């Protein structure tokens, strides 16, 4: 008799279904009751579904059997769908609103229903606000992540709603000309851990006094790109960075002036930093982890005498030039390179090497002391990895870990080298 | 007990239908279930312990499992947590070839990999079935996997209505 998939225990069916997309899960739910029940009873599978609030669904009845956690809104008639939120509001964790004109009163109603929201994503949202809306009690949300993109004229009210809530991660792009409001919002955010700001055209208003310096948030990550402070405001920003230096672990900037206000953080990400001549005063001994992305700082190795981990992402100058600088950092133990072409390595202290999306690779020149204590190699989506096994042989290396992800492997060469690898992971 | 000793003693396992198989300790330790059993035996227990009974795995399936663990005995396998990050677009050609088997064998392999707690084998075998489901209509799924359509017309209408909310137009 032909074997039946639906005779497998539900636990096993769920393991199979985890490999599938929401479209395939919908086909399975039509196939038989057991599959539909297995899908509806597993929160990991339910996370693959998103409820779509779009105008064409206006006349479709909705009596949900499932517990949805994600919703997507793209409609100018949010008020017509409030009943949907009453059905699923308690379970909703993530909401995205895109290209929608919304009555403010409806958004407030939605927030009052969806008390457990953790992730909010607003993209080109426009709010129609009446004077009376300001008299309504704003709902309090406790959010893990809030993304704002191109809010145009609605920033003011959204900030007002948010100032009553707490956010851990705030990521903003193109929220123009409302820095005074943003400053007030930030002052209310005692739980803020990650703050990312891109293309804020009047950003200087954020640091025109010390009011942010005194806020007691535990900021761990700060990203301020396309952000240039003019002279008189630099002391405010410098004081802000000094005040929060104990907590800030990652600082990302593409500005020379803000770079000069660098606190004593341990991790630094530099993106698109224009070429700068740093003086001998600009030495950053606390930086141990450095990420460089499409930027250019001449002779940067002398700026970070204690750097232990370097990550070079995308087309950071010429990869070969970057590696000359890395070679000058005598303490580098971990090197990560994302995207690149042919290059050479000369790093005697290197223990961990990670190469991702590399077209070609060459270890040259192989000096005796070079790569002698290498312990871990990770290669992902690299064109050829024959060099890797050649390296193991020539250097007589014994790796503690080799991780190969999405690369073509010659099984014969691999099996010959298994004795040199303590832990092998192939994905 | 140090189960990572360099020597690799022989271990015997017995299937649910009474067939005995011999393999190495290094291979059998890929099974989390058996690893837990061996760790509980204590110092020096491996040499003295008898055959391990596996009452939930029949001999045909156990033979397949042993072939897989012996091939992978030198590779430290990812944990269940690490499996969650796995991308599905690259599979070791040996494993791809190994999984070319009838559906009934594959179902038994899934159940055995789950019982024996071998996360990588469970992932490979469930993924194999998932790839067969991918991009198929409900009718094709029923036909391929011998499934009876047990929905009433009223019920299926309700499911269709709900599913409309999840399909992006």
First to last CA, chain B: 60
**Angstrom distance (rounded) from CA A351 to CA A153:** 52
Contact A249, A223 (CB under 8 A): no
Q: Which residues of B touch A51 (CB under 8 A)?
A: 165-166
Mean pLDDT computed over B135-164: 93
A132-146 per-position pLDDT tens digit: 877 888 889 999 999
A230 close contact with B: CB closer than 8 A: no
**Angstrom distance (rounded) from CA B1 to CA A368:** 40
A405 close contact with B: CB closer than 8 A: yes
Contact A119, A145 (CB under 8 A): yes
The angle formed by the CA atoms of residues A276, A278 and A283, to the nearest 5 degrees, is 135
CA distance to partner chain A, nearest, from residue B14 (Å): 23
Other CB atoms within 10 A of residue A309 CB:
20
Bridge pairing between strands B10-14 and B52-53: parallel
Name the nearest CA neighbour of A404 among A423, A392, A419.
A423
Higher pLDDT, A341 or A5: A5
CA distance to partner chain A, nearest, from residue B43 (Å): 24
CA distance to partner chain B, nearest, from residue A96 (Å): 14
Name the nearest CA neighbour of A353 among A416, A402, A417.
A402
CA distance to partner chain B, nearest, from residue A316 (Å): 27
**Angstrom distance (rounded) from CA B14 to CA A421:** 32
Phi-psi category of residue A148: left, alpha or beta, with phi > 0 → left and psi -120 to 50 → alpha: beta
Q: Which residues of A touch B110 (CB under 8 A)?
A: 8, 12, 15-16
Residue contact B89–A406, C-beta within 8 A: yes
Of A158-167, A413-422, B75-84, which range is least confident? B75-84
Q: Which residues contact B4 (CB under 8 A, 6 or more apart)?
A: none
B27 pLDDT exceeds 50?
yes
A178 pLDDT exceeds 80?
no
Calculate the dihedral angle through the C-alpha atoms of A38, A39, A40, A46, rounding to the nearest 10 degrees: 150
**Angstrom distance (rounded) from CA A204 to CA A126:** 25
Of A163-167, A258-262, A316-320, B89-93, which range is least confident? A316-320
Q: What domains are defined for chain B?
A: 10-164 (3.30.710.10)
DSSP conformational letter for A60: S
In chain A, positions 97-126, which contact chain B (CB-CB < 8 Å)? Answer: none
CA distance to partner chain A, nearest, from residue B34 (Å): 20
A167 pLDDT exceeds 90?
yes
Mean pLDDT computed over A404-408: 82
Residue in A8, A23, A60 closest to B161 by CB: A60
Q: Which residues of B touch A12 (CB under 8 A)?
A: 110-111, 114, 126
Confidence category of residue B1, pLDDT binned at 50, 70, 90 = very low
**Angstrom distance (rounded) from CA B125 to CA B105:** 10
A67 close contact with B: CB closer than 8 A: no
CA distance to partner chain B, nearest, from residue A18 (Å): 8
Q: Which residues of A touch B131 (CB under 8 A)?
A: 19
Q: Which residues contact B45 (CB under 8 A, 6 or more apart)?
A: B1, B38
Q: Which residues contact A171 (CB under 8 A, 6 or more apart)?
A: A145, A146, A147, A148, A194, A196
| pLDDT cut 90: percent of chain A above it | 30
Residue contact A19–B130, C-beta within 8 A: yes
Higher pLDDT, A369 or A384: A384
What pLDDT score does B2 carry? Answer: 46
Residue of chain B nearest A426, judged by CA positions: B92
A253 strand-pairing partners? A224, A270
B12-22 per-position pLDDT tens digit: 999 999 999 99
Higher pLDDT, B161 or B90: B161
CA distance to partner chain A, nearest, from residue B102 (Å): 9
Residue in A24, A33, A422 closest to B151 by CB: A33
Residue contact B146–A5, C-beta within 8 A: yes
Q: Which of A11, A12, A87 to mutate to test the interface with B (most CBs of B within 10 A)?
A: A12
Contact A222, A258 (CB under 8 A): no
Contact A113, A138 (CB under 8 A): no
Residue contact B159–A50, C-beta within 8 A: no
What pLDDT score does A365 carry? Answer: 46
B117-143 per-position pLDDT tens digit: 999 999 999 999 999 999 999 999 999
Confidence category of residue A360, pLDDT binned at 50, 70, 90 = low
Contact B22, B10 (CB under 8 A): yes
Residue contact B151–A6, C-beta within 8 A: no
Q: Which of B99, B145, B155, B161 to mutate to test the interface with A (most CBs of A within 10 A)?
A: B145
What pLDDT score does A389 carry? Answer: 85
The rounded mean pLDDT for chain A is 83
Residue in B82, B127, B165 closest to A62 by CB: B165
In angstroms, what CA-CA distances link A226 with A233, A251, A376? 16, 14, 37
B5 pLDDT exceeds 70?
no
B37-86 per-position pLDDT tens digit: 888 876 566 667 788 999 999 999 999 999 999 998 877 677 777 777 66
Confidence category of residue B34, pLDDT binned at 50, 70, 90 = very high
**Which residues in B32-63 are b (16+ Cβ under 10 Å) and which e?**
ebbbeebeeeeeeebeeeeebebeebbbebbe
A247 pLDDT exceeds 50?
yes
CA distance to partner chain A, nearest, from residue B113 (Å): 10
**Angstrom distance (rounded) from CA B163 to CA B155:** 12
User: What is the C-alpha radius of gyration for chain B, rounded to an integer number of angstroms?
Assistant: 20
Residue contact A406–B94, C-beta within 8 A: no
Of the ranges A152-156, A271-275, B15-19, B49-53, which is most confident? B15-19
B6 pLDDT exceeds 60?
no
What pLDDT score does A88 carry? Answer: 92
Mean pLDDT computed over B103-107: 94
Which uninterrupted H or E stretch holds B78?
none
Residue contact A4–B137, C-beta within 8 A: no
A403 pLDDT exceeds 80?
yes
Is the entire prediction scored with pTM above 0.90? no
Confidence category of residue B169, pLDDT binned at 50, 70, 90 = low
Mean pLDDT computed over A237-249: 83
Residue of chain A nearest B160, judged by CA positions: A30
């Amino acid at each position: 008799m032909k074997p039946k998939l639906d005779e497998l225990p539900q636990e096993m069916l769920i393991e199979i279904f985890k490999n599938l997309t929401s479209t395939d899960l919908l086909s399975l739910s039509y196939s038989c009751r057991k599959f539909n029940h297995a899908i509806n009873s597993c929160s990991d599978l339910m996370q693959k579904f998103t409820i779509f609030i779009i105008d064409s669904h206006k006349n479709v009845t909705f009596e949900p059997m499932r517990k949805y956690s994600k919703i997507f809104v793209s409609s100018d008639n949010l008020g017509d769908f409030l009943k949907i939120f009453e059905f699923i509001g308690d379970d909703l964790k993530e909401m995205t609103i895109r290209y929608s004109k919304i009555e403010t009163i409806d958004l407030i109603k939605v927030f009052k229903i969806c008390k457990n929201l953790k992730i909010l994503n607003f993209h080109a949202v426009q709010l129609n606000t009446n004077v009376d809306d300001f008299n309504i009690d704003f709902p309090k949300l406790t959010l893990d992540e809030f993304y704002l993109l191109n809010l145009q004229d609605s920033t003011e009210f959204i900030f007002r709603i948010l100032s009553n809530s707490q956010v851990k991660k705030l990521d903003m792009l193109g929220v123009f000309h409302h820095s005074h409001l943003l400053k007030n919002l930030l002052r209310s955010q005692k739980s803020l851990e990650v703050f990312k700001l891109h293309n804020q055209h009047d950003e200087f208003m954020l640091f025109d006094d010390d009011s942010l310096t005194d806020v007691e948030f535990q900021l761990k990550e700060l990203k301020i790109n396309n952000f240039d402070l003019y002279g008189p405001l630099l002391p405010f920003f410098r004081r802000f960075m000094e005040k929060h230096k104990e907590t800030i672990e990652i600082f990302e900037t593409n500005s020379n002036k803000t770079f000069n206000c660098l606190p004593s953080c341990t991790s630094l990400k530099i993106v698109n930093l224009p070429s700068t001549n740093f003086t001998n005063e600009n030495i950053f001994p606390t930086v141990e982890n450095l990420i460089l992305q499409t930027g250019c700082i001449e002779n940067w190795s002398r700026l970070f005498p204690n750097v232990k981990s370097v990550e070079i992402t995308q087309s950071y100058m010429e990869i070969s030039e970057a590696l000359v600088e890395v070679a000058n950092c005598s303490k580098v133990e971990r090197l990560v390179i994302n995207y690149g072409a042919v290059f050479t390595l000369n790093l005697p202290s290197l223990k961990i090497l990670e190469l991702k999306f590399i077209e070609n690779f060459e270890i040259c020149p192989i000096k005796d002391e070079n790569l002698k204590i290498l312990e871990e190699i990770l290669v992902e989506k690299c064109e050829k990895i024959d060099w890797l096994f050649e390296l193991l042989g020539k250097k007589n290396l014994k790796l503690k870990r080799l991780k190969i992800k999405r690369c073509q492997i010659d099984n014969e060469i691999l099996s010959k080298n298994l004795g040199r690898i303590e832990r092998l992971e192939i994905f | 007990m140090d189960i990572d000793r360099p020597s690799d003693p022989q271990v015997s396992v017995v299937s649910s239908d009474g067939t005995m198989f011999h393999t190495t300790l290094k291979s059998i330790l890929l099974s989390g279930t058996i690893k837990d059993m061996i760790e509980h035996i204590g110092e020096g227990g491996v040499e003295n312990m008898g055959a391990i009974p596996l009452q939930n795995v029949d001999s045909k399936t156990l033979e397949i499992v042993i072939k897989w663990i012996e091939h992978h005995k030198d590779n430290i396998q990812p944990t269940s947590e690490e499996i969650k990050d796995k991308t599905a677009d690259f599979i070791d050609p040996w494993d791809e070839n190994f999984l070319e088997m009838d559906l009934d064998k594959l179902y038994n392999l899934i159940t055995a990999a789950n019982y024996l707690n071998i996360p990588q084998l469970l992932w490979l075998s469930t993924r194999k079935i998932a790839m067969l489901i991918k991009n198929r209509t409900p009718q094709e799924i029923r036909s391929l996997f011998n499934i009876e359509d047990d929905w009433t017309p009223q019920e299926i209408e309700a499911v269709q209505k709900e599913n409309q909310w999840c399909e992006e137009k």
